[in-house]
Structures are given as C-alpha cells and as structure tokens.
Chains A and B, each alone.
Chain A
Amino acid sequence: LAKTTQPISMDSYEGQEVNITCSHNNIATNDYITWYQQFPSQGPRFIIQGYKTKVTNEVASLFIPADRKSSTLSLPRVSLSDTAVYYCLVGELGGGNKLTFGTGTQLKVEL
C-alpha cells in the first residue's frame, strides 16, 4: 500500500488560496489519489479524486505531476468554514477496505 506524507498543520487567512501537498512515492499504477475533509465530530467528506494531471470541481483543484509521486490539493479563497482536517489517500478503485487514513493536515483559517 502506498504510504502518504502530508504536513501536520497549516494556517491561513480568509480569502487566501491554500495548497496542501501530499507525497506518495510508492504509488502504484492502479492507484488513484483521493482527498477527504473532516470536521470535528463528523465523518470524512469526499472532496476530489484524480489519477493524473489536473482535476477541478466546484470545491477544489487537484494537481498531479507526471510522475504521480505527489499531489497538491488547492482550495481557492478559503473561509473560516474550511477549517478542518484534510486527508490524502492513495489506493485502487473499489479499494475502500484498503484505504488508510493518515493523521491528515489540520488546516486552520483565521480572519
């Protein structure tokens, strides 16, 4: 299973763009990269998923370089409500039983 490494915490201010980078040097050919967001006392919520290059949805963008050994979650113009823990996961499609959530990145957004 590919292991992921993310910063433990990040601080930002409202209106700024936040980029959280995740390293996954041992990513396998069949692995996808998925990001989840978790608020206190709630279950994780799916944010975005990708395999290579760039993926964008209404919430975030995911940048994946050609070697796929890292990925960057980009949150545009964060607000206080984006304060949460963000998890980067790597795994095969349909491998919910193989997904390992690390300790994630605690993002704190201030005024």
Chain B
Amino acid sequence: NAGVMQNPRHLVRRRGQEARLRCSPMKGHSHVYWYRQLPEEGLKFMVYLQKENIIDESGMPKERFSAEFPKEGPSILRIQQVVRGDSAAYFCASSPLQPGQGHEKLFFGSGTQLSVL
C-alpha cells in the first residue's frame, strides 16, 4: 500500500508565477489535509478537504491560495502569483477516518519544497 504521494518534490517559481502542488492520499483515505512549514518552524494547518468538499479552510490565506480534492485524481494546492514569502515546505496528510470515528492519526507525504525566486 503506497503512502501519501506528493509531487513535485521540489518546485522553483519566479515571483508572479503559479504553483501547483499535488497530493495523492493513501488508498482508501478520503480525508486530506494541507500544512505549510517555514524554516525552523512547526507545521501550520492550511486546509482540510474531503472528496469534492472543502471542510475547513481557516488556515488558508484569503488571497492567491486555493485547494481542491476532485472526485477523481489528486488533491491540488494552488498558489497564484507567488511571492518570496510563499517559499516553504508544503505537506499533505491523509486519514481514513471521519471526525468522531476513532483514534485518528495522520499519514504525511514527503512534502513539496517550494522556492520562489
């Protein structure tokens, strides 16, 4: 059973370009979370999605950032008009459980390191 797959592993963009980060959850998992990690800091929650639904986007910046988890295909985190401050590691995690179903643990991917020049 493959783990959470993220690609690309490294992404370099110039200021003003768009960045698309992909995440394929573990097989059987329908809950996806995106986190951002700045250097020397902990992970910060961004958004929680289920198939075709955004459940909680309270951690997402109001502008330029969007996320989706379509019925078919990976979850996408999209950053428009990137700025240098967007440079960070972006991690995706998946879970098989809905809230309240049991002891939840998150399975994380290896992340995408975004560098904005």
Contact = CB atoms under 8 A, between A and B. Distances in A.
B108 A44 contact: yes
Nearest to B111: A43
Interface string B54-71: 011011000000000000
B102 A93 contact: yes
Contact of B110 (A34, A43, A87): A43
Contact of B91 (A43, A97, A100, A103): A43
A100 B104 contact: no
B56 A94 contact: no
Contact of A96 (B33, B44, B100, B111): B33
Q: For chain A, give the interface size range.
A: 20 to 34
A97 B60 CA distance: 11
Q: For chain B, give the interface size range.
A: 35 or more
Interface in A69-101: 87, 92-101
A92 to B, nearest CB: 8
A65 interface: no
A102 interface: yes
A44 B45 CA distance: 13
A15 to B, nearest CB: 29
Nearest to A44: B108
A96 B45 CA distance: 8
A103 B42 CA distance: 5
Interface of B: 4, 31, 33, 35, 37, 40-45, 47-48, 55-56, 58-59, 89, 91-93, 95, 97-111, 113
Interface of A: 32, 34, 41-46, 49, 87, 92-104
29 contacts: A34-B105, A41-B111, A41-B113, A43-B91, A43-B92, A44-B43, A44-B91, A44-B106, A45-B108, A49-B103, A92-B99, A93-B100, A93-B101, A94-B97, A94-B99, A96-B45, A96-B93, A96-B104, A96-B106, A97-B33, A97-B55, A97-B56, A97-B59, A100-B42, A100-B45, A101-B42, A101-B44, A103-B41, A103-B42
